[in-house]
Structure 1
Amino acid sequence: MKSSPDNTLSLEETLKAILPDGKLSGKLPPVDSWNPQNCGDIDMAIRADGSWWHEGGRMNRERMVKMFSRILRKDEDGKTYLVTPYEKVVVDVEDAPFIAVRVDRAGEAGPQQALAFLTNVGDVAVAGPDNPIRVETDAETGEPAPYVLVRGRLEAKIARPAFYELVDMAEADPKDETVLGVWSQGVFFPIGAAA
């Protein structure tokens, strides 16, 4: 990431802003409170398969991808940005910025169970009132596209194996038996039509 000409930052300052506690597994940086004036485009993209690309080349360093994933923010304009206190850069996201690669159920099956999703970059989102599950269905093919909100406006597309696990957990909607869904933290999330 390049700093703007009138704002030279050291790598140490930038890393301190991104990783306040010095490690990737700690507290997320407060990207929602950062409002830098400098905005640019460095030809960065996240493809539908969850891979990160910069200037046409795939980013293969997992630690760097995880670090960048911590400073992602989707703004009200619908665009996704990498944000630091000093500048933000556009990231072209083909589908969702994350992939939910695993789902685990905590508690007894039913309304009070909790469904925890693990993303490809190590985030955990527990579905519920603050992290809803939604399923879009392709009008032509009928193919489901399931998502879970991870943080802010950032979603993870639920990978096919994890979605199949949700289907195995599904039960009829108590208000409409033609709809199947899953419970998490007292909220019922429809995932498809009953056969």
Structure 2
Amino acid sequence: MSLNRLISELEKHQHAPTELWDPPYCGEIPIHIAANGDWFYQGSQIKRQALVKLFASVLVVEEGDYFLVTPAEKVKITVEDTPFVVVDWEQREEDGEQLLLLTTNIGDTLVLSSEHPLTMKEGIPYIVMQRGLTARVHRNVFYQWVSHAESRTVDGQEQWYLSSAGETFVLGNVK
């Protein structure tokens, strides 16, 4: 299976076609996504994973604000940090190329790649997902990456990095 086909298969059916809808804004609703990826409605945790996945499938971000969008309405929700968390990963080789497959807290899988790159903000690792959404990398996953990372020297500074899908992603400097 080619890399492009694998990525395409992983991303199928994970998001509704919200870009095709232009519903009216209907205000805010008391849905909140905590920094650990837990979803809450009126202060109570939503424990049904299927319901969380349904909400996530219609989640969009516009200018830093998060909305749930359906063909009939668009409602604003609050997000503490990012809506998703990378909770697991797996190394795989496809067509002689090393891939890191990432799994989020809602079960979405994506490949660490130029399409879904690693970014660092204030020392915290994030993955850019589709439609401008992001996932924070869980601390346990990050520590596993550090133990798996290779080092190299760039401009006199030793760095840890990962390779996936033909790209190199810097985890940080070796102190």
Match of 2:41 in 1: 54
**What's the CA shift string for 1:29-86, capped at 9, x where partnerless?**
11122221233201111000111111222212221111111111112x2111111111
Aligned residue-pair number = 162
The partner residue of 2:65 within 75, 79, 82 is 79
User: Is residue 2:111 matched to residue 1:132?
Assistant: no
Give the TM-score taking structure 2 as reference length. 0.84
2:74 paired with 1:95: no
The answer as to whether partners of 2:14 and 2:108 remain within 8 angstroms in 1 is: no
CA distance in 1, matches of 2:153, 2:77: 41
* RMSD of aligned Cα (Å): 2.0
Structure showing greater radius of gyration is 1
What 5-or-longer segments of structure 2 have no aligned partner? 1-11
In the TM superposition, structure 1's runs of 4+ consecutive aligned residues that sit over 2 Å from their partners are 25-28, 172-177
State the AA in 2 paired with 1:56.
Answer: G
Residues 149-171 of structure 1 deviation map (CA, whole Å, 9 limit, x = unaligned) = 22111111111111112112212
Say which structure is richer in helix.
2
Deviations 1:68-120 (A, max 9, x none): 11111112x21111111111111111011011100111128x9x411111011
- Cα distance change, pair 161–27 in 1 and its aligned pair in 2 (3 A): closer
Identical counterparts, % of pairs: 34
Higher relative contact order (CA 8 A, sep 6+): 2
Matched, 1:148 2:148: no
Q: Which runs of 5+ in 1 are unaligned?
A: 1-24, 138-143
Q: What residue in structure 1 maps to residue 7 of structure 2?
A: none
